[in-house]
A and B are shown apart, each in its own frame.
Chain A
């Protein structure tokens, strides 16, 4: 018998893998049958509301929750902050009240608002103001990252010489502001005690790791906690934790002896549920006459909230590294809500800073931006130079780059058109995953995994892997996920889920299939199992039908066959490191400052693609999210009051369908990529839009709009500045 090896098989033999397959849960989601956390209302469920602080920096000086105890309908309450506690940003949670009806909880919160008192302290919230932060003692000097090939012993001197020898030196200031997490479904929890056992329904990216956080916070045993997440409206990095409001929900449920549900309202969601840190930079680039970049010097600053921090210095410049470079990071400690990993942290900021500055070098040299990026591909650090070149060629053809390209600013009329590009990288290796695949003697198949489908299509992908392996239709397998009682798997973040679950399920399924093949061999007197194959509901031997799938499974006897799958393993089912290139065609109305996206092309690799449709959906979703943060989405802090002044969906501007333009998602999957196995895709396509759209706008108007998002104000201010 030939050695049995895990693998994906030949591309041409796939019945499901790599095809366009609609999500198996699409209908239940669209028809409202899928239950999200806000839909959970087991009998007696109390509704909780929050008291939040309206100061950016203060001390809690008075609050007595006793006044709500006798209020109508109020059954439980919780105080997040003790008297004397320091409040460090607008929106911090102070107290919660659970009542039989929402309006009763709101009345109780109103009563608390009348009695709560704060000692207001000095605040600092201007994330772009490095000098102001220094004056306010809110500036951190953080890491420095330098190297010089010109002078390894004296790096500073080497970098200085490289700049002196460069044909051109470009200096510019760039920035990308803080945005907030904006999942369609806000954070929230439904908690219900059954004796000592706690049932939690919550929108989470981590069903397997969250019970420990509840257990620790509530001082109960981890085995008492079950976390369930059936359907979710996005996570994007903001939903890994039990969170203080989740723990409060469980505590109030205990106090009341009734289930409690607490969902964050949108303003609170924007203020406390996590942000993407800002990045501002002064960048100098030295380049040779042919566009080869030889030197880089950057100072960047930004904030991840009161902790300071910002964008990791070790990753700047991004994707590329240059023979002589210095980068220095500062952090601003702002009285603003905390950072949480935001889809591809912190690559969108790194990309925006690096590739806009590179594009300006092209403008300074009068070069086609395409040629400058191509010229510097030898400096990419992920070894994917040839892939980028190929992706650039494909993207350029799709957007008709060569025909449409013009020198920066070289157009007439008030509405100007321009092209821009950027490229990116991401890891996306498989995360830890354990699953159980169960094959019943009647041929039905089910699986269990403590992973979750945060809206990305994980259920569908697992179904495809199992159905493909067993030669069944996608409806012939039943996938169970989203419970902490299933075999433990990694949180869904960092694009590690698809590799994790597809590898583990393939291993389990192939192992199970081989055991069934062994029984088929005995039953049907075959010489070997080498020629056996499961396809179209049958077991085939060299193409000839031996028996049906059900007949084969009946050989299992009375007990189902249960196989555990784990991963990741070094067996080529999965891999890591991807790249992608994006190009955009935009127009800029120079009288109104409004930017419109005409066409936005993404060429993206992610190894072997399980479901082409879901993959393209990931990309179009990422481009949409990218258009949001590139053109309109931003957190606006009010310096005087210290408050998050646009924490509503009127002023926290997100694009509507008419703002999106034509999105083209090209999945780059030559055999060389297919053969790498599965790699995650969630993050990478959201990285380039900021730089790509900024470069397109710069090409259109001949002026760099330094800070993203490129709002009408910033576009018009930049145009006016250039005229001055």
Chain B
């Protein structure tokens, strides 16, 4: 770890200012559960670390006119405890599935969304794309935990965020501030992620000096005739702290037993969260049954492009989609 400056802003504007110096060679510190590993491994070497935990507006969950705003520095424990989030089952399920008191106490929503890939080639110093002499190590190397979708470009890693699939399925947006002092942007979370084509790119659209302040969630109307159901299913090899082998999140709008709206998003299968319109289409206008969930799951993985060692992940992704759908309608029985 190299020495760095440490800044502790109290406002978003201060944070933007602090992040802009050193030509943007700065890093955001929230819970630190990923950042410290990156620093200690010298995978990143920021000149300044900007700690956003003291910015009050970034903490906690608040109701706004058209939904909820989750501050980027909100911890997983706060997600679990918030009554405002009780209609958003999939989010709580993700927070709970971390199975680690330490991560739940320290880890934040913003940190999860910006978590860099766990690809072991990246983490061992071969760059974001994991290359030697321009050749991908994962392409036909040790790729058992790598992508089965979106892997026809140079990136083979899987997106590390555990919340992103569920949030995208909910139609969440991210609020970004910076790099210009007054610049504020609200964008669908789906478009926040980038499948990088070069080592210079990152996994999100964030520019130097820009950071995530909030996640916006649309309101769930309890009186709406269309019931909003959701679930997430993460396939975890270990019962303790472990990264999913694959995951799926679904949000269903159900009216009189019929699916009227459906979003299906897979996680840990591609360099970005992976939206499956095919699976959603299968569900639309139908009543959820085990057979329908299986059909949707099959549609979700039909176009998978597994690498040399990760064909098994297709089966796991299929199971995750099926189970997330069944879980959402309370029919899961495994």
Select A650's contact among B121, B137, B243, beta carbons within 8 Å: B243
B238 within 8 A of A: yes
A655 touches B238 (CB 8 A): yes
- Inter-subunit contact A659/B238 (CB<8 Å): yes
Pick the contact of B141: A632, A638, A655 (CB < 8 A). A638
In the complex, residue of chain A having the shortest beta-carbon distance to the beta carbon of B245? A712
- A123, chain B: closest CB distance, angstroms: 13
Q: Are A592 and B137 in contact (CB under 8 A)?
A: no
Q: State which of B124, B125, B312 has its C-beta within 8 Å of the C-beta of A593.
A: B312
A659 vs B334: C-alpha distance when bound (angstroms): 17
Tell me if B1 is interfacial: C-beta within 8 Å of chain A.
Answer: yes
Indicate which residue in A636, A639, A655, A717 contacts B312 across the interface (CB closer than 8 Å): A717
**Which of A653, A656, A717 is B311 in contact with, Cβ under 8 Å?**
A717
Interface string of B315-326 (1 = CB under 8 A from A): 110110010000
B142 CB within 8 Å of chain A:
yes
The CA of A106 and the CA of B239, in the complex, are separated in Å by 35
Q: In the assembled complex, which residues on chain B have CB atoms less than 8 Å from the CB atom of A650?
A: 118, 243
- The yes or no answer to B221 lying at the interface (CB within 8 A) is no
* Residue of A592, A651, A716, A717 most packed against chain B (CB within 10 A): A592
Closest CB-CB distance, B103 to chain A, in whole Å? 12
- State in angstroms the CA–CA spacing of A655 and B118 once bound together: 19
- Kindly state whether residue B241 has any CB partner on chain A within 8 Å: yes
Select the stretch in A1-9, A231-239, A641-649 that faces chain B: A641-649
Q: How far is the CB of A586 from chain B (nearest CB, A)?
A: 14
**A589 CB, nearest partner CB in chain B, Å:** 7
Q: Which residue of A lies closest to B141 (CB)?
A: A640
B28-59 vs A, Cβ < 8 Å mask (1 yes, 0 no): 00000000000000100000000000000000
Q: Is the interface of B mostly helix, strand, loop or mixed?
A: loop
Enumerate chain B residues within 8 angstroms of A656, measured Cβ to Cβ: 99, 238-241
A415 within 8 A of B: yes
Instruction: Tell me, in angstroms, the Cα distance from A658 to B42 when the chains sit together.
Output: 33
Which residues of A in the span 627-643 have a Cβ within 8 Å of any Cβ on B?
632, 636, 638-641, 643
Determine whether the beta carbon of A593 is less than 8 Å from that of B132. Answer: no
Report how far A36 CA is from B272 CA in the complex, Å: 44
Contacts of A641 in B (CB 8 A): 124, 126, 132, 137
CA A593 to CA B132, docked complex, whole Å? 32
User: Inside 8 A of A54's CB, which chain B residues have their CB?
Assistant: 125
Q: How far is the CB of B146 from chain A (nearest CB, A)?
A: 12
Q: Does B10 contact A (CB under 8 A)?
A: no
The answer for the CA separation of A593 and B315 in the assembled complex, in Å, is 9
In the assembly, what is the distance between CA of A34 and CA of B236, in Å? 36
Which of A657, A659, A712 is in CB contact (< 8 Å) with B316? A712
A65 at the interface (CB under 8 A from B): no
Q: Which chain B residue shows the least CB distance to A717?
A: B312
Query: Is A713's CB within 8 Å of the partner chain B?
Result: yes
| Identity of the chain B residue whose Cβ is nearest the Cβ of A54 in the assembled complex | B125
A-B contact count (CB 8 A): 93
A716 touches B239 (CB 8 A): no
Complex: A578 Cα to B309 Cα, angstroms: 41
Given the known A-B contacts A106-B1, A651-B120, are A658 and B99 also in contact in the complex, defined by CB atoms under 8 Å?
yes
A592 touches B242 (CB 8 A): no
Q: What is the CB-to-nearest-CB distance from A336 to chain B, in angstroms, rounded to a whole number?
A: 14
Cβ-based interface call for B123 (8 A):
yes
Q: A103 is contacted by which of B1, B123, B137, B141 (Cβ under 8 Å)?
A: B1
Q: Does B296 contact A (CB under 8 A)?
A: no
A: interface residue count bin: 35 or more
Q: Cα distance A593–B137 when bound, in Å?
A: 26
CB distance from B196 to the nearest CB of A (A): 21
Any A CB within 8 A of the CB of B237: yes
- Whether A70 is near chain B, meaning CB under 8 Å from some CB there, is no
Shortest B97–chain A CB gap in Å is 12
Q: When each residue 280-321 of chain B gets 1 if its CB lies under 8 Å from chain A and 0 otherwise, what string results? A: 000000000000000000000000000001111001101100
Distance in Å from the Cβ of B188 to the closest Cβ of chain A? 30
A662 at the interface (CB under 8 A from B): no
If A415-B334, A645-B120, A653-B238 touch, does A639 touch B311 (CB 8 Å cutoff)?
Answer: no
Asked whether any CB of chain B lies closer than 8 Å to the CB of A540, the reply is no
Residues of B within 8 A of A657 (CB): 239-240
Q: Which residue among B137, B237, B243, B309 has the maximum number of chain A CB atoms within 10 Å of its CB?
A: B237
Task: Quote the shortest CB–CB distance from A122 to chain B (angstroms).
Answer: 15
Q: Which residue of chain A has the shortest Cβ distance to B240 in the bound complex?
A: A656
B124 x A643 contact (CB < 8 A):
yes
Nearest-neighbor residue (CB-CB) of A654 within chain B:
B238
Q: Which A residues are CB-close (under 8 A) to B245?
A: 592, 712
In the bound complex, CA of A54 to CA of B125 (Å)? 10
Cα distance A650–B237 in the bound complex, in angstroms: 12
A508 to B245 CA separation, bound complex (whole angstroms): 58
B residues near A (Cβ < 8 Å) are: 1-2, 42, 99, 118, 120-121, 123-126, 132, 137, 141-142, 144-145, 235-243, 245, 309-312, 315-316, 318-319, 322, 334
Chain A to chain B contacts (Cβ below 8 Å), 16 pairs: A103-B1, A106-B1, A110-B42, A591-B322, A592-B316, A593-B315, A594-B235, A638-B142, A639-B142, A640-B132, A645-B142, A651-B145, A656-B241, A658-B240, A712-B237, A712-B245
Binding site for B on A (CB under 8 A): 54, 103, 106, 110, 414-415, 589, 591-594, 632, 636, 638-641, 643, 645-646, 648, 650-651, 653-659, 711-713, 716-717, 720
